[in-house]
Amino acid sequence: MENKNLMRIVEEKAQVWLSGKYDNDTKAQVRSMLKENSKELMDAFYKYLEFGTGGLRGVMGAGTNRMNIYTVGMATQGLSNYLLKQFGNLDRQISVAIAYDSRNNSRLFAETAAKIFSANHFRVYLFESLRPTPELSFAIRQLKCQSGVVITASHNPKEYNGFKAYWDDGGQIISPHDENIIKEVQKIKSIEEVRFNGPDENIKILGEPFDKKYINKVKTLSLSPEIIKRNKDLKIVYTPIHGSGVKLVPEALRKFGFTNIINVPEQDIIDGNFPTVKSPNPEEPAALSMAIEKAKEVNADLVMATDPDADRVGIAVKNQDNEFILLNGNQTAVLLIYYLLTKWEEKGKLTGKEYIVKTIVTTDLLNEIADKFKVEHFEVLTGFKYIADIIRKNERKKRFIAGGEESYGYLAGEFVRDKDAVISCALIAEVAAWAADQEKSLYDLLLHIYYEFGLYKEQLINIIKKGKSGAEEIQQIMEDFRNNPPETINDSPVMMVHDFLKQKSFDMISHLRYDITLPKSNVLQFILKDGSKISVRPSGTEPKIKFYFGVKEEFKDRNDFGTLNSLLDERIREIVRSLNIEAG
């Protein structure tokens, strides 16, 4: 009966789209769904798109649960209404910045948002063509905007697009603003309430002169210009995977002083269908396969690939057998932050007021490194917006050096407030030059770090559950783990359970409870007696539940690396088996 009632509501919502002021193509899509595919109709209309860890994101198409000019329009109008409430007494015109990536419809959605902001009498700064997401964050701060929007679905498959909103500090919108914006959007009962057609005179186009300001600022982060001079011919293969890093990442590398940048011509083509990859996600090995082939061909030293909006970067390096291997996001974060802290110490820049930030599912090795350099470290919920929030709270009191998350996003410096692959690519290349100056590869440097701090190994497993039924399955998995936490995992007792939804930590031995001060989030963590850590959370942007595994072992003999690495791989496999998890 419940499903029948929901279908009736869904069909009524679809009929509204047929009778309202929607374009003919949209109405044709709705008619087709009503006639032929009840499941597709259900997925398209059973709910409204909501802001998650990455803002508004979904499959493109007709429907309230799809990305289209109408859902974008309602989100933009809701954001506009909220900005008018928050900044209505401003002594100048409210201003917003808009950027977009290479995805299909990104330009259309960006122009739609620009027109709506303009109709609400805002000053709008719209980039002339696709640009990296971090440049949008930079623009908000540089131009003193009250908000900003980037049209992107980051690394999602080609069917997706998204609407990511930012606040006046250049960081993604967080609570309470995100929840309040949703309330404003929900107040809009009809697209007739959306002001779609604002005047062009309120819209200013940003182009190459602004790019130069951004790149010049990125250059200020370089800590080893003399080392780069000695290693400027380092062979770097870079691919934007058809996305917005195509221009500015090579430009940043050249600005740092690197001269031997090799592209992958087929992937320099801007194309929202991402024709050379199944998914434009640098977390997936297949996304870097063409770049690695190019690197083998030219005998390169380093491979880097960015996602469509150029906020994430994946890298490949040569191992001891001179074969290219992919590093995961934790390993790249370790290399980057170890280098930055080393150089800050060498230059006498550490005063006791510096800090780094990582997410709760990112390797604990970063904490160990920070402790060595006597640098404070913060842990935040998953989502780079929480790293930006820490920077905002500590502004002018403490100095942010760098932050990172296991999902291939990193940031150095404070002039951008989101993960930045332009900055990251330039600095990763600088780390490679630093290693080369010591006659080491990045792989050698990573082993050196492991030898100093211990061998840490992490793995992520995604279980995909699509649609309404999938969302219900994910919810049930979380409820089962929360209500019946395992006492042992892989024959190792569970010592501590962190429940970020209940904001409580449970000591399974003493049965004591401790408060968690981070915001509520549907995340569970299990800490085992052998030091292993398992984290479970639903994705905020994709139809999947994520399992994060972290294991570690002392590393006393460099010759034992292969054996220890295999041991930790097997430990993760045993944990996965004991939890009966199958990757999706």
pLDDT digits 0-9 by tens, 388-438 = 999 999 999 999 999 999 999 999 999 999 999 999 999 999 999 999 999
Q: Rounded to the nearest 5°, which phi and psi values hold at 214?
A: -65, -50
Share of the chain above pLDDT 90, in %: 87
pLDDT at 54 (0 to 100): 56
74, containing H or E segment: helix 69-87
Q: Which residues have a Cβ under 8 Å from the Cβ of 293 and sit 6 or more positions away?
A: none
Predicted confidence band at 31 (pLDDT cuts at 50, 70, 90)? very high
Three-state SS letters, 132-197: CHHHHHHHHHHCCCCEEEEECCCCCCCCEEEEEEECCCCCECCCCHHHHHHHHHHHCCCHHHCCCC
Residue-wise pLDDT for 257-300, tens only, equals: 999 999 999 999 999 999 999 999 999 999 999 999 999 999 99
For residue 579, pLDDT over 90 is answered with: yes
What pTM does this model have? Answer: 0.95
Interval 166-190 mean pLDDT:
89
What is the per-residue pLDDT across 196-245, written as a single tens digit (0 to 9) for each? 999 999 999 999 999 999 999 999 999 999 999 999 999 999 999 999 99
1 pLDDT tier (thresholds 50, 70, 90): very low
Q: Quick check: 582 pLDDT over 80?
A: no
> What stretches of 381-424 adopt beta strand conformation (E)?
399-405, 409-412
Instruction: Give Cβ neighbours of residue 97 (< 8 Å, ≥ 6 apart).
Output: 124, 125, 126, 127, 136, 139, 140, 143, 145, 148, 149, 206
Q: Pick the residue with more confidence: 406 or 184?
A: 406
Instruction: Let me know if 154 is a catalytic residue.
Output: yes
Average pLDDT over residues 442-462: 96
Label residue 438 exposed, middle or buried (CB < 10 Å: 0-12, 13-18, 19+). Answer: exposed
Is 179's pLDDT higher than 90? no
Domains of the chain: 1-46 (no CATH), 47-206 (3.40.120.10), 221-453 (3.40.120.10), 455-579 (3.30.310)
Of 36-40, 450-454, 472-476, which range is least confident? 36-40
pLDDT, tens only, 268-279 = 999 999 999 999
From the candidates 80, 106, 137, 154, give the one annotated as an active-site residue: 154
Q: What are the tens digits of pLDDT across the range 511-524? A: 999 999 999 999 99
pLDDT at 251: 98
How many other CB atoms sit within 10 Å of the CB of residue 129? 14
